A and B are shown apart, each in its own frame.
Chain A
Amino acid sequence: MEKIVKEARQKTLSFQTRRHFLQDCKTGMGMMALGSILDGCNFFAPQTDAETSSNPLDVKAPQFQGKAKSVIFLHMAGAPSQLELFDYKPELTKLDGQDCPDSFIQGKKFAFIRGVPKLLGPQANFKQHGQSGLWLSDNLPHFSQVIDDVTILKAVNTDQFNHAPAQLLMHCGTPRLGRPSMGSWVTYGLGSENSNLPGFVVLTSGGRNPDAGKSIWGSGFLPSVYQGVQCRSEGDPVLFLKDPNGFDRDMRKASIETINKVNELTYQQYQDPEIMSRISQYEMAFKMQVAVPDVMTIADEPAYIHEMYGTEPGQESFANNLLLARKLVEKGVRFVQLFDWGWDSHGTDPGTALDLGFINKCYKMDKAISAFLLDLKQRGLLEETLVVWGGEFGRTPMQENRDGKQNTFKGRDHHADAFSMWMAGGGIKGGFSHGETDPIGYNAIDGKVSVYDIQATILHQLGFDHEKLTYSFQGRSFRLTDVFGKKIDPIIA
Chain B
Amino acid sequence: MPAHFHKKYLFTFSGILVLGAAYLLFFSNTPVDYNTQVKPILNQKCISCHGGVKKKGGFSLLFREEALSPTESGKPAIIPGDAANSDMIRRLHLSDPEERMPYKEEPLTDEEISILTRWVDEGAKFGTHWAYQTITSPSIPSSGFFSFFQKQSPHPIDRFIDEKLGEVDLSRSPEADKKTLLRRVSLDLIGIPAPDSIAQKYLNSKDPKAYEILVEDLMSTPAYGERWTALWLDLARFADTKGYERDYIRSIWRYRDWLIKAFNEDKPYDQFLVEQLAGDLLPDPSDEQFIATAYHRNTMNNDEGGTDNEEFRTAAIIDRVNTTWETLMGTSFACVQCHSHPYDPIRHEEYYRFMAYFNNSRDEDTYDEYPLLREFRPSGQLRYDSVMNWIKGKGTKEQLIFYRSLLKTGQQCVNSITADSMVNAALEDTKFLRLRKMGSARFKNVDFTGKPNMLIRFRNPIDKGLLNIYMDSMKNPAIQSVKMDKTKDGWNIVKLTLPKEIKGKHDIYLHYDSKLLKKPEENGMVMDWFVMTPDFPTDGSPDSKIHEALSLQVLNHPDAELTPIMLDNPAYMKRKTHVFERGNWLLKTKEVEPGIPAIFVNNKEIKQKNRYGLAMWMTDKKNPLTSRTMINRLWEQLFGQGLVETLEDLGSQGALPTHPELLDYLSYEFMHTDKWSIKKTLKRMVMSETYRQSSVVTPDMRKKDPLNKYYARAPRVRLTAEQVRDQALAICGVLSPKMFGPSVMPYQPDGIWSSPYDNRKWTMSQGEDQYRRAIYTYVKRTGPYPSMINFDGSAREVCLTRRIRTNTPLQALTLLNDSTYWDVSVRLAKSCLASEHQNFTKAISKSYEKATGKPIDPQKQNTFVALYRNSLLKLGDDTSRIKTMLSDSVFRKGQKELAALSVVTNAILNLDEVITKN
- Residues in A lying within 8 Å of B, measured CB to CB: 15, 18-19, 22, 27-29, 31-37, 39, 47-53, 56, 109-112, 114, 161-164, 176-178, 204, 207-215, 218, 223-225, 229, 232, 234-236, 238-248, 250-252, 254-256, 258-259, 261-263, 265-266, 269-275, 277-278, 281-282, 284-285, 288-289, 341, 403-405, 414, 472-476
24 cross-chain CB contacts under 8 A: A33-B707, A47-B806, A51-B706, A111-B306, A164-B245, A177-B798, A209-B782, A211-B755, A212-B244, A213-B755, A236-B749, A239-B749, A239-B790, A239-B814, A240-B749, A240-B818, A251-B871, A269-B696, A275-B912, A281-B811, A285-B810, A403-B428, A474-B646, A474-B649
Interface status of B835 (Cβ within 8 A of chain A):
no
8 A Cβ contacts from B780-799 to A: 781-784, 786-787, 789-790, 792, 795, 797-798
Q: Which of B631-655 contact A (CB under 8 A)?
A: 640-641, 645-646, 648-649, 651-655
CB-contact partner of A234 in B655, B750, B881, under 8 A = B750
Whose C-beta in chain B lies nearest to the C-beta of A221? B804
On whether the beta carbons of B426 and A271 are closer than 8 Å, the reply is no
Chain A residues lying within 8 Å of B886, measured Cβ to Cβ, are 246
Q: B902: nearest residue on chain A (CB-CB)?
A: A244
Q: Of B427, B782, B887, which is within 8 A of A213 by CB?
A: B782
Say whether A274 contacts B884, CB under 8 Å: no
Q: Are B782 and A254 in contact (CB under 8 A)?
A: no
Contact B781 A281 (CB under 8 A): no
With A245-B884, A404-B424, A476-B335 already in contact, the answer to whether A282 and B907 are too (CB < 8 A) is no
B734-771 near A? 1/0 per residue, CB < 8 Å: 00000000000000011100111000000000000000
Flag if B302 contacts A27 (CB, 8 Å): no
Tell me if B695 is interfacial: C-beta within 8 Å of chain A. Answer: yes
Q: Is the CB of A112 within 8 A of B655?
A: no
- Measured in the bound complex, the distance between the Cα atoms of B650 and A474 in whole Å is 9
Residues of A within 8 A of B716 (CB): 270, 272, 274
A278→B705 CA distance, assembly (Å)? 21
Other A-B pairs, 20, CB within 8 Å; known A244-B822, A245-B885, A281-B812? A33-B705, A35-B656, A36-B656, A39-B653, A39-B655, A162-B306, A176-B798, A209-B756, A212-B782, A223-B804, A239-B790, A240-B749, A252-B816, A254-B870, A262-B907, A266-B911, A266-B913, A405-B521, A414-B306, A475-B343
Contact A285 B809 (CB under 8 A): yes
Q: Cβ of A266: which chain B residues have Cβ within 8 Å of it?
A: 911-913
Supposing A254-B871, A475-B654 touch, asked if A271 and B697 sit within 8 A by C-beta, the answer is yes
Stretch from B13-21, B30-38, B676-684, B724-732 contacting the other chain: B13-21
- Beta-carbon contact of B884 and A246 below 8 Å: yes
In Å, the complex CA distance between A31 and B907 comes to: 40
Evaluate whether A163 and B751 lie within 8 angstroms (CB atoms) in the complex, with A240-B813, A244-B885, A288-B809 already known.
no
A240 in contact with B814 (CB, 8 Å): yes
B813 touches A235 (CB 8 A): no
B290-343 at interface with A (beta carbon < 8 Å): 300, 302, 304-308, 315, 326, 332, 334-335, 342-343
Could you say which residues of chain A place their CB within 8 Å of the CB of B893?
none
Q: Which residue of the partner chain A has the closest CB to B798?
A: A178
Chain B, interface SS category: loop
B641 CB contacts on chain A under 8 angstroms: 49
The distance from the CB of B509 to the nearest CB of chain A, in whole angstroms, is 18
Residue of B nearest to A234 (CB): B751
Query: Once the chains bind, are A177 and B797 in contact (CB under 8 Å)?
Result: yes
- Compute how far the CA of A110 lies from the CA of B305 in the bound complex, rounded to whole angstroms: 11
**How near does chain B come to A17, taking the closest CB pair, in angstroms?**
12
A208 touches B755 (CB 8 A): yes
* Interchain nearest-CB distance for B848 vs A (Å): 9
- For B783, B818, B907, the residue with the greatest tally of chain A CB atoms inside 10 Å of its CB is B907
Q: For A113, give the chain B residue with the smallest CB separation.
A: B306
Residues on A with beta carbons closer than 8 Å to the beta carbon of B533: none
Which residues of chain B have a CB within 8 Å of any CB of chain A?
12-13, 15-17, 243-245, 247, 300, 302, 304-308, 315, 326, 332, 334-335, 342-344, 424, 426-428, 434, 521, 640-641, 645-646, 648-649, 651-656, 695-699, 702, 705-709, 716-718, 749-751, 754-756, 781-784, 786-787, 789-790, 792, 795, 797-798, 804-814, 816-819, 822, 857, 859-860, 863-864, 866-867, 870-871, 874, 881-882, 884-887, 899, 903-904, 906-907, 910-913, 916, 918
Q: Is B15 touching A114 in the complex (CB atoms < 8 A)?
A: no
Q: Which of B428, B807, B863 has its CB near the most chain A CB atoms (within 10 A)?
A: B807
**Contacting pair B807 A476 (CB below 8 A):** no
Is there contact, CB below 8 Å, between B749 and A235?
yes
Q: B782: nearest residue on chain A (CB-CB)?
A: A213
Tell which of B306, B702, B709, B887 touches A271, judged by Cβ atoms closer than 8 Å: B702
- What residues of B have a CB within 8 angstroms of the CB of A214 in the complex? 782-784, 795
Known: A164-B244, A261-B863, A278-B912. A255 touches B907 (CB 8 A): yes
A78 CB to closest chain B CB (Å) equals 9
Min CB gap B511→A, angstroms: 16
Beta-carbon nearest neighbor of B645 in chain A: A36
List, in ascending order, chain A residues with CB within 8 A of B702's CB.
Answer: 271, 273
A33-B705, A114-B426, A215-B795 known; A225 and B874 CB under 8 Å? Answer: no
Most buried by B among A178, A244, A414: A244
Given A112-B306, A271-B697, A258-B812 contact (CB < 8 Å) = no
| Smallest CB separation, A258 vs chain B (Å) | 4
Contact of B652 among A261, A289, A475 (CB under 8 A): A475
Closest to B318 in A: A176
Question: How far in angstroms is the closest Cβ of chain B from A481?
Answer: 15
- Judging by beta carbons under 8 Å apart, are B782 and A39 in contact? no
Interface pair A224/B792, CB less than 8 Å apart: yes
Task: Give the Cβ gap from B817 to chain A, nearest Cβ, in Å.
Answer: 4
Asked if residues A213 and B247 are in contact (CB atoms below 8 Å), the reply is yes
Complex Cα–Cα for A207 and B756 (A) = 9
In Å, the complex CA distance between A49 and B652 comes to 20
Hey, which chain B residues are within 8 Å of A474, CB to CB? Answer: 326, 332, 334-335, 646, 648-649, 653
CB of A271 within 8 A of CB of B707, answer no
Distance to closest chain B CB from A383 (angstroms)? 31
Assuming A213-B781, A270-B695, A475-B332, is B806 touching A224 (CB within 8 A)? yes
> Smallest Cβ distance from A276 to chain B, in angstroms?
10
Tell me the bound Cα distance from A246 to B885 in angstroms. 5
Determine the chain B residues whose CB is within 8 A of the CB of A261 once the complex forms: 863
C-alpha gap A250/B651 in the complex (Å): 54
Flag if A255 contacts B903 (CB, 8 Å): yes
Chain A positions within 8 Å of B707 at CB level: 33-34, 37, 49, 51-52
Docked-complex contact A29 and B16, CB < 8 angstroms: yes
Partner of B304, one of A49, A50, A211, A258: A211
